[in-house]
Amino acid sequence: MLKRLSNMALPFLSLGIVFGDIGTSPLYALREIFFGHYQVATNTSNVFGALSLFFWSLFLIVAFKYIFIILRADNEGEGGIFALLGLIRMEQGVIPRKIFAGVTLLVLFGAALLYGDGMITPAISVVSAIEGLGIAMPGLSNMVVPITIAILFFLFKMQKRGTSRIGVLFSPVMTLWFVTLAVLAMPQLFKHPEVFQALNPTYGIRFLLSHGLSSLWILGSVFLCVTGAEALYADLGHFGRKAITNAWFFFVYPSLLLNYFGQGAMLLGSSPIPGGNLFYALSPDWALFPMIILATVATVIASQALISGAYSLTHQAMALGVFPRVKTIHTNPDIRGQIYMPFINWALFLGCVILIVFFKSSSNLAAAYGVAVAGTMVITTLAFFVVANYRWKWPLKALIPICTIFLFFDLTFFGSSLLKFLQGGYIPILVALVLLSVMWAWQWGRKAVGTAHRAYGDTRQMSWLIDLKRRLEESKGIMNDRARWLVESDRVVVFMSSHPVSAPEDGMPAALRVYLKRNGVVPKHMIVLSILQGKAPFSIGERYTITNFGFNIIAVQVKFGFMENPNVKDVLWELKRRGVLYGEIHRCSIEIGEEDIVIHRGVPIFNDILARMYRILSRFSTPAHRYFGLIDVSGVDKTIVPIVIDKEGARVDIPEFPLSEKDEKDNIDPDTLRPSETKFHKIT
């Protein structure tokens, strides 16, 4: 649908999603230089210098780095830091091992930093808008905090209803906001047109040199004008590079510059600036209350974009296997990506409330703002270098100068933001470190469990199951193993497998093995179902690969991208439509393995910590059947698979289940089972 929209419509729609964060920065960014913690004198040279830094920062960071360069690093059209990780993983065999591990760790840390930004942005944006009440009605100054918390509570409470109904209003409101930014500045610009001399970069350079080491504090405030740049990349998949580029250069960039220069012109004049609030000082008295309302709505829209971005980030992280599964609710079945995550939602709200109560004002919150985004920008540049070098094969003689320029500005802003570490910059860093440890423990645990399953599969292959079914068929569905009977039941059972199965030499799912041992019954119809979420955002080509092993054993692989939602119920309906699934869906059983982590003594201390963290995270993560959309499907059973972690590594701990002396030896040779005996073939 989006592809059919005109070139004018897409940039218009992007205003309500992509530019909310950077578009509300005029509420507090320039004010921090002249009325913040490090107050600069309001003389002409300082005003020109600050405006020059704002202009060139917006051009070099947003326009040149992100729009001209970084937006080209898309993963099947999707952007964001996890899109870069997906591109890097595609070249895992080419990238040196240490570089791959180091960049992966950095990208995970960068993603974790964005959660800290997701807490601070709604807090500082809405507080800065509501602070206008203190100017209009000084008696309400003490009500800024409770009013802000009430607005944010309403915003977070509404998330479970979805944004599809009110989302259509976002773009018109933000369009009005950007037009208002430009209009508010006009009277002051007509009074002091000389402010446009600040376009000369020498004013900015002289401004920094004249303040010596204190210029680092100034740069920390200048950075506030570009903090929304990362959102442009994250929302690339919604609108595309062309729409974002057009919206920026023809609408957003001019509006922001006019408003910043209008605030600078206000500083050159003799008009009073109540409470040091430059933005609201531009507004005439009669328009102050409407301006407060518009600013509040704009900051709520900007906050909504950050909240939705946190959901999307978490969804991608879960699909990539670096974050525990959390409950996900689809608020609109007709629109992909419209999701609600209760845990993420209320965790963000709690973080916002703590920040607002602790810091109390947007000026104080500005001290905590910027560190997270600056850190993510540094990591984005490093990850981009790896992708451009190893995947796109860009020549180093062109790539190194470009990335060196990027890193110079990124590290300068990051270093200046770190000066605010003790004033609040430590908060997003702490949040990021906690989340990084969660991601690292979960990724380590999933890798250990996957290794254990693969090792187990090497000892009991599908050829063993095929031979078992053959002998059961020959013995009319009943076998005697010394003191144990094994019976074939007229049932259809779907076994979920964590690894793909497509050949007799592939390993059996551990859950299937446990099922046979526990029940002593072999289902007549067995489907081994593997859900594969790849490194690309969306599945390309044929989604289903179906392998018929004969003897009513079928293996199915279904491919999903990391931006897609794997729904097993929909998969089962498709298999029934294709004639793969026998009988009614509600009468078949679905066996899902659930690991029980057992930690033995002697495990190295670091691995022991990771294993215990993973065990705790596993207990609190959303069960696999919920993640795969099997909430209201009858016949879903959990099969507990013991995973032992000791000093040797991880292993599946299931007692052997021999059926005869022959089975106690090596696996059946798969070559003896194909093609005629197993009727082995693939359908793609």
**620 shares a domain with 493:** yes
User: Which residue range forms the structural domain that includes residue 546?
Assistant: 461-683
Out of 413, 443, 473, a domain closes at: 443
**673 shares a domain with 600:** yes
**489 shares a domain with 426:** no
211 occurs within a structural domain: yes
The closest of 355, 381, 45, 86 to 205, measured between CA atoms, is: 45
Task: Tell me how many domains the chain contains.
Answer: 2
pLDDT digits (tens, 9 = 90+) for 477-522: 787 755 567 788 888 888 988 888 888 888 888 888 888 877 878 8
pLDDT at 3 over 60: no
**179 shares a domain with 42:** yes
Output the average pLDDT for the chain.
85
pTM of the model: 0.82
pLDDT digits (tens, 9 = 90+) for 657-668: 555 444 444 444
Out of 414, 443, 472, a domain closes at: 443
pLDDT digits (tens, 9 = 90+) for 340-364: 889 999 999 999 999 999 988 888 8
**676 shares a domain with 559:** yes
219 occurs within a structural domain: yes
**489 shares a domain with 342:** no
**646 shares a domain with 592:** yes
The closest of 377, 372, 376, 340 to 355, measured between CA atoms, is: 372
pLDDT digits (tens, 9 = 90+) for 117-153: 888 888 988 998 898 887 878 777 788 899 999 999 9
**401 shares a domain with 504:** no
Pairing of strands 589-599, 521-533: unpaired
**469 shares a domain with 428:** no
**99 shares a domain with 178:** yes
Q: Give me the sign of the Cα torsion angle 402, 405, 409, 411.
A: positive
The closest of 14, 295, 310 to 167, measured between CA atoms, is: 14
pLDDT digits (tens, 9 = 90+) for 150-190: 999 998 988 887 765 666 778 899 999 999 999 999 999 99
Q: Using omega within 30 degrees of 0 as the cis cutoff, is the peptide bond preceding 675 cis?
A: yes
Alpha helices in 58-169 (DSSP H): 81-90, 97-130, 132-136, 144-157
What is the CATH number for 426? 1.20.1740.10
449 occurs within a structural domain: no
